[in-house]
Structure 1
Amino acid sequence: MTSPADSPRSTALSRFASPVILLALMWIIQLADAILRGSFSGFGLRSWDLAGLGGIVAAPLLHASWSHLLANSLPFLALGCLVAVEGARRFWTVTAVVAVIGGLGTWVFNAPGTLTVGASGLVFGYFGYIVMRVFAPARVAHRILYAVVALIVIALYGGSMLAGVVGVSEGISWQAHLFGAIGGGIAALAGRRADRPALRDRTG
């Protein structure tokens, strides 16, 4: 017998609550930022400024405008929920790895003094994670799901994502996108190693 807390529905809710909560936090911050007239803008990631390193945590939660937040919300939620399929702990671990690696890469390789905000680095990080997980020793159903989603994302957004990485669009931080994707790939490789003992336990 399974208790209500162990039911598939409650398990799914607990997993997908994490990206939903994080996205809700972005909207709350944007609303507060609008009410307080941009008082949070300075907390973004400012390149080559030691004091700006705190923006590694804050920058993904901040957005330059409502349209900026709207553009990031749907891909963040879709890809974030896919990462969360493996559990809330995995979602937060991947998010942290992407934020740190993406933030450090942006801080180093962007022009000194450049202020970067937005969740697109996380979006690219989640996509990089999903692509790499296709080749991981996870459940076959998960691998198929990741492959299908990766193909759909490439078909729908491949051009804009490539433009975001190579930096052909003005005002877009290709550094955040590129290093976010790298961070997602690294998180996937680390997760692959963590999965191996579990697979041995199930097959042994």
Structure 2
Amino acid sequence: MTLGRFYWLAVLLGIIWAVEIVNILMGYSLNRWFGLLPRSLGGLDGVLLMPFLHGSISHAIANTIPLIVLGSLLAITAQRLVLMASLMIVALGGIGVWLFGATAIHVGASGLIFGWFGFLVARGVVEKRAIPLIVSLGVVLFYGTMVWGVLPGQPGVSWQAHLFGCAAGIFAAYALRHSSQSS
């Protein structure tokens, strides 16, 4: 296994942190301009841009760790699927939030994180192959409590992004199941 498998993850994290620095310098105005605002044409660009925006440094840090862990698992076990799965998660999860989310500006990579969680867990079940099943069990053991994040609870946290991201990840695992036989 080469470090090249992780290049896309390093680029993703680099973009997130570059945007975070610019956002800090601009008083987080990027969130107002490019965050996802449900049922608003002006907030529709947030469907694709929401994962790159965060509400604070602590928010970006909190998302960085699971991005590294789950992204690394994807790089190791699903390299050929990661781009398509991620695009499906961001697009479908974001559209779900845009259609049904609370009227607030939604930002953060947690929809993608929950999508990767759903994808990795569902992939093991859908494919019924040894490596995806082992990864699925490991993800459930280490991150299984994430499932509670899809329920309403903590004010200021977009549980809708968690819910629709996870659902999109499960859908992606099912939709891409035949593409992954060589991954």
Q: Distance in 2 between matches of 1:22 and 1:195?
A: 22
Which position in structure 1 is the counterpart of 2:167?
Answer: 182
Which position in structure 1 is the counterpart of 2:94?
Answer: 103
Normalising by structure 1, what TM-score? 0.82
* Higher Rg of the two aligned structures: 1
User: Which of 137, 141, 152 is residue 151 of structure 1 equivalent to?
Assistant: 141
Which position in structure 2 is the counterpart of 1:33?
Answer: 23
Which position in structure 2 is the counterpart of 1:75?
Answer: 66
Q: Distance in 2 between matches of 1:108 and 1:41?
A: 19
C-alpha displacement of 1:165: 1.0
Aligned partner of residue 134 in structure 1, secondary structure:
helix
Map Cα deviations across residues 145-177 of structure 1 (whole Å, 9 max, x no partner). 3322322212xxx0xx24421111111111100
1:61 to 2:46 alignment: no
What letter corresponds to residue 182 of structure 1 in structure 2?
A
Q: Distance in 1 between matches of 2:90 and 2:137?
A: 24
C-alpha displacement of 1:138: 6.3
Which position in structure 2 is the counterpart of 1:123?
Answer: 113
Aligned partner of residue 176 in structure 2, secondary structure:
helix
- The structure 1 segments of at least 4 consecutive aligned residues displaced by more than 4 Å after TM superposition are none
When structure 1 is superposed on structure 2, of 174-183 and 38-47 the one drifting more is 38-47
C-alpha displacement of 1:87: 4.8
Cα distance change of structure 1 residues 145 and 57 upon mapping to structure 2, 3 Å threshold: same
Cα distance change of structure 1 residues 138 and 28 upon mapping to structure 2, 3 Å threshold: farther
Q: Distance in 2 between matches of 1:86 and 1:134?
A: 11
Alpha carbons 1:14, 1:88 under 8 Å: kept? no
Normalising by structure 2, what TM-score? 0.91
Q: Distance in 2 between matches of 1:147 and 1:16?
A: 22
Alpha carbons 1:105, 1:179 under 8 Å: kept? yes
Q: Distance in 2 between matches of 1:133 and 1:85?
A: 14
- Sequence identity (%): 37
C-alpha displacement of 1:104: 0.7
Q: Distance in 1 between matches of 2:85 and 2:28?
A: 29
Aligned partner of residue 73 in structure 2, secondary structure:
helix
When structure 1 is superposed on structure 2, of 144-153 and 26-35 the one drifting more is 144-153
C-alpha displacement of 1:82: 1.1
- The alignment of Structure 1 onto Structure 2 pairs a total of residues equal to 182
Q: Distance in 1 between matches of 2:51 and 2:138?
A: 27
C-alpha displacement of 1:80: 1.3
Which position in structure 1 is the counterpart of 2:155?
Answer: 170
